[in-house]
Amino acid sequence: MQSRYDSWEGYEDLDGQQNTSRLQTHQEYLRSLGVPDEATRHIDHVGINAPSKEMFDKLVARYTVPGEKVGLYDRGDRRIAVIERGGGNYRVELFEPRANTTPAPGFIHYAFIWPGHKAHEAMLREKGTVTRVAELGGNPLLFLTTPDGHEAEIVNEPISFE
């Protein structure tokens, strides 16, 4: 018996209407919080959870564009793929599920590039939207809850696992 986690359900084309509408909603929300318009237009990546290790490999193949860069990174507890899309306009950050966890497949977040965003963290915290902060290779990451229950990630510069 095939489960919904073994199908393409929830993995519509990233340029499809659902994602276009969601992106516009997230951009409007970030602007309402005081994030500059320019930052809301610079997308680093779309974060997506794969439902299984097997589907991770299938999704890497599905989202790969011939001639575009694909980086596969083994983080010890899971693999992450960073796939160039949209003619270099954005990337897909695809996460393999961690071992011994219940997968939460599908869309996670859009990541926006806002250099110097750390100086505005207090303003965003006052608005009650910051859920967590992190750092990846010296790049500060800020995660905000969006009204639709997802996240928006703000980064100083494009994410790199290298």
Query: What are the average pLDDT values for consecutive 10-residue runs of the chain, which has 162 residues?
Result: 42 65 92 94 89 88 84 89 79 87 84 94 89 93 92 92 78
Q: Does 162 fall in a domain?
A: no
Total number of domains constituting the chain: 1
Query: pTM score, two decimals?
Result: 0.84
**Contact in structure between 133 and 143 (CB atoms under 8 Å):** yes
The answer to whether position 160 is within a domain reads no
pLDDT in the model for residue 90:
79
Tell me if 90 is assigned to some domain: yes
96 found inside a domain: yes
pLDDT at 156: 93
Q: Is residue 139 part of a domain?
A: yes
What residues make up the domain containing 102? 4-155
| pLDDT of res. 18 | 76
For the domain that residue 21 is a member of, what is the CATH number? 3.10.180.10
161 domain-assigned: no
Write the DSSP string, the chain. Answer: ---GGGSSTT---TTSHHHHHHHHHHHHHHHHTT--HHHHT-EEEEEEE-SSHHHHHHHHHHH--TTS-EEEEE-SS-EEEEEEEGGGTEEEEEEPPPTTS----EEEEEEEE-TTGGGGHHHHHHTT-EEEEEEETTEEEEEEE-TTS-EEEEESS-----
How high is the pLDDT of residue 80?
A: 92
